[in-house]
Amino acid sequence: MHNELPYRIREINVRKDIGQIPDLIELCFHPYLDPDGAAFIDRMRSVAEDWKRLSFLSVFTQVDFSILGYVCENREGEIIGNVNLFPVNVKNRFAFLIANVCVHPQYRARGIGASMMREALHYAERQHASEVYLQVREETPEVLRMYMRLGFSEDSRRTGWLRPRKLVRDCVDPSIRREKLNWQERHLLTGAFKKWYPDDVIWNLNYDSKLFRYGWFFSAWRFLARSDTEAFRMTDPEGQTICWVGWQPTNNFSNNLWVVPVENCTEAQMRQILSVVGTRYARFKPLMVSFPKGVYADAFLESGFFVHNRLIWMHKPL
């Protein structure tokens, strides 16, 4: 930036900036922070406090806790903007995920966010990344317009559905049955899974690729690895598969639920499926499902889920 401007953009210095970055992120995103986001902020603050008390530890901790990206600071040295880059592998190509893009409310509408993003994009280019990815909330159309001006294109719109812990729903239809996976349906399952969880999004959903795998090898692997994952199919009264379901425990505040309906699965059937699996798996921990926007929305709501987030997935080739 030019020296006459009242602020400047620079690369993040973890040791110098880790005390201020979490405060800015919390200020800007507090309406949307979930327990995982709050834990990330607490982790940064804990590291910052350790460095203050035992500065010699920073040499070792910085290796374990590093943050790539850029900040914008004013003349007083206060951080008023932040953007982070996380290296990722998408479709076997090196890329970056851009996250935590925020500007202090008192400094918005001055082009700071766009300037930080340009620096982040230049950095990704210098690292020879093939693409950059990000997600933006539907509730922030002005941010979406900024990303589109920077050359990002929309991949999909998805709703994160959350079912709270221990919520019980009645009126479950006994004709909807839970059955073992059928080996003969493996190609149908693969095609349906790709439809609901395409390559452009599955990489960032913490998916266990062995969840829906068939055969003795993967059964033995799950047994030896003590994996608690479960996968099964839901059938109608005629015994026809109407949906495949996978349950995947995580270290996050919620466990993952993967819902893979067939083409002709009705809204009423999906409501019963979600009621069955919700009652079974939300006893100890909330359940999270990422699904295309607007699809089976009434079924999710009527079976005890609520909207956790509405995200627009975007990317930009480099």
Tell me, yes or no, whether 60 and 175 share the same domain: no
Tell me the range of 9-23, 50-64, 290-304 where mean pLDDT is highest. Answer: 290-304
- pLDDT at 209 (0 to 100): 86
User: Which range (1-10, 26-35, 272-281, 306-315) has the least confidence?
Assistant: 1-10
Averaged pLDDT, 306-314: 97
The dihedral through the CA atoms of 26, 28, 31, 37 has a sign that is negative
In the chain, the number of structural domains is 2
Q: How confident is the model at residue 142 (pLDDT cuts 50, 70, 90)?
A: very high
Tell me the pLDDT tens digit for each residue of 168-180.
Answer: 655 566 788 999 9
Task: Give the Å distances, CA to CA, from 108 to 70, 113, 142, 248.
Answer: 16, 8, 11, 40
299 in a domain, yes or no?
yes
Tell me, yes or no, whether 79 and 113 share the same domain: yes
Tell me the pLDDT tens digit for each residue of 74-129.
Answer: 999 999 999 999 999 999 999 999 999 999 999 999 999 999 999 999 999 999 99
Mean pLDDT of the residues in the chain: 89
Tell me, yes or no, whether 86 and 184 share the same domain: no
Of 103, 124, 151, which residue is a domain's last? Answer: 151
User: Which range (25-34, 210-219, 220-229, 278-287) has the least confidence?
Assistant: 220-229
Tell me, yes or no, whether 186 and 214 share the same domain: yes
Amino acid residing at 256: N
Q: What share of the chain has pLDDT > 90, as a percent?
A: 72
Asked whether the predicted pLDDT for residue 300 surpasses 80, the reply is yes
Q: In degrees rounded to 5, what are phi and psi of residue 300?
A: -60, -50
Tell me, yes or no, whether 25 and 120 share the same domain: yes
- pLDDT at 302 (0 to 100): 94
Tell me the pLDDT tens digit for each residue of 200-257.
Answer: 999 999 998 888 876 655 565 555 555 688 999 999 999 999 999 999 999 999 999 9
Task: Give the Å distances, CA to CA, from 205 to 198, 202, 209.
Answer: 11, 5, 11
195 in a domain, yes or no?
yes
Tell me, yes or no, whether 302 and 201 share the same domain: yes
Tell me, yes or no, whether 115 and 32 share the same domain: yes
Domain that holds residue 30: 7-151
* 147 vs 16, higher pLDDT: 147
- pLDDT at 63 (0 to 100): 43
Tell me, yes or no, whether 203 and 295 share the same domain: yes
Tell me, yes or no, whether 89 and 178 share the same domain: no
- pLDDT at 218 (0 to 100): 57
85 in a domain, yes or no?
yes
Tell me, yes or no, whether 254 and 118 share the same domain: no
Asked whether the predicted pLDDT for residue 24 surpasses 50, the reply is yes
66 in a domain, yes or no?
yes
- pLDDT at 221 (0 to 100): 55
293: domain CATH number is 3.40.630
Tell me, yes or no, whether 142 and 43 share the same domain: yes
244 in a domain, yes or no?
yes
Q: What is the 3-state secondary structure (H, E, C) of the chain?
A: CCCCCCEEEEECCHHHHCCCHHHHHHHHHCCCCCHHHHHHHHHHHHHHHHHHHCHHHHHHHHHHCCCEEEEEEECCCCEEEEEEEEEEEECCEEEEEEEEEEECHHHCCCCHHHHHHHHHHHHHHHCCCCEEEEEEECCCHHHHHHHHHCCCEEEEEEEEEEECCCCCCCCCCCCCEEECCCHHHHHHHHHHHHHHCCHHHHCCCCCCCCCCCCCHHHHHHHHHCCCCCEEEEEECCCCCEEEEEEEECCCCCCEEEEEEECCCCCHHHHHHHHHHHHHHHCCCCCEEEEEECCCCHHHHHHCCCEEEEEEEEEEEEC
103: domain CATH number is 3.40.630.30
Asked whether the predicted pLDDT for residue 318 surpasses 80, the reply is yes
Tell me the pLDDT tens digit for each residue of 59-83.
Answer: 444 445 678 999 999 999 999 999 9
Asked whether the predicted pLDDT for residue 158 surpasses 60, the reply is yes
Q: What share of the chain has pLDDT > 70, as a percent?
A: 88
Asked whether the predicted pLDDT for residue 165 surpasses 50, the reply is yes
- pLDDT at 174 (0 to 100): 72
Cα angle: 35, vertex 39, 44; to 5 degrees: 155
132 in a domain, yes or no?
yes
99 in a domain, yes or no?
yes
Tell me, yes or no, whether 172 and 284 share the same domain: yes
Of 98, 126, 151, which residue is a domain's last? Answer: 151
Of 151, 185, 212, which residue is a domain's last? Answer: 151
- pLDDT at 46 (0 to 100): 85
